[in-house]
Amino acid sequence: MPLVRLQKFLAEAGVASRRAAEKLIVGGHITVNGQVVKTLGAKVDAAGAEVAVDGRVVRTRRKVYVVLHKPRGFLCTRSDPEERRTVLDLLPREWSNLFPVGRLDQDSEGLLFLTNDGEFSLHLTHPRYGIRKKYLAVVEGRIDESQLKRFTEGVEDEGELLKAERAHLITANNSHSSVELELAQGRNREVRRLFAALGHEVVQLRRTQIGPIRLGELPVGKWRILNPTEIKSLLPTPT
């Protein structure tokens, strides 16, 4: 069997996303055949090497892909030191090894994937893959066409260029507006920051679509398993 990069091995074993696995390696938490490995890019024999995290041997696990309708008030993390509710509280206990793919802030709701497949997570969250996500935002004040154009041209905020690939006005009056945004960058709290940059506060935010997968009629707080066709639709086509 060909050698694979250590961070890829850890991601595929469901230990963490590839970027989180890199931090574990650099931090000296990983041993290969009893030897600490801190070098990013180090390769291992996926079939024969004994890889351990803080002394615990890594065992390959069946890959799981979950779609959740995240409610407001839940954190996108596996655990919280303040013991606030997390999205893992909504899943069966046997899935405690899953981790969220990307994030929705505590006050947002909508479509969220959870998995133990680090490569899947990397593909959906890294900007270079450009996986598009749709959001429905209800904001204070009236949004007009000139502001929608600014969203698609890009807005500077805290040294970053925030940009929507598409912006569609659904309804608008003097008190509130409903807008659908389609994003590809995935920057931290990007939707809220886009509106705030133009003086509008988001009062409700729901993610409705990731790639071709729609939230649909999945009730708030409920989950389902992605089927093989859906998983394939989210991954790059082999060349």
* Residues marked as catalytic: 105
Question: With 0-12 CB in 10 A as exposed, 13-18 as middle and 19+ as buried, what is 104?
Answer: buried
Q: 144 is written with which tokens?
A: 């007009």
Query: Whole-angstrom Cα distance, residue 69 to residue 223?
Result: 6
Q: 26 is written with which tokens?
A: 């650099």
Buried b (16+ CB within 10 A) or exposed e, 17-43: bbeebbebbeeebbbbeeeebeeeeeb
DSSP bridge partners of 137: 179, 205
Q: Could you identify the residue written with the tokens 């709290």?
A: 189
Query: Whole-angstrom Cα distance, residue 147 to residue 168?
Result: 11
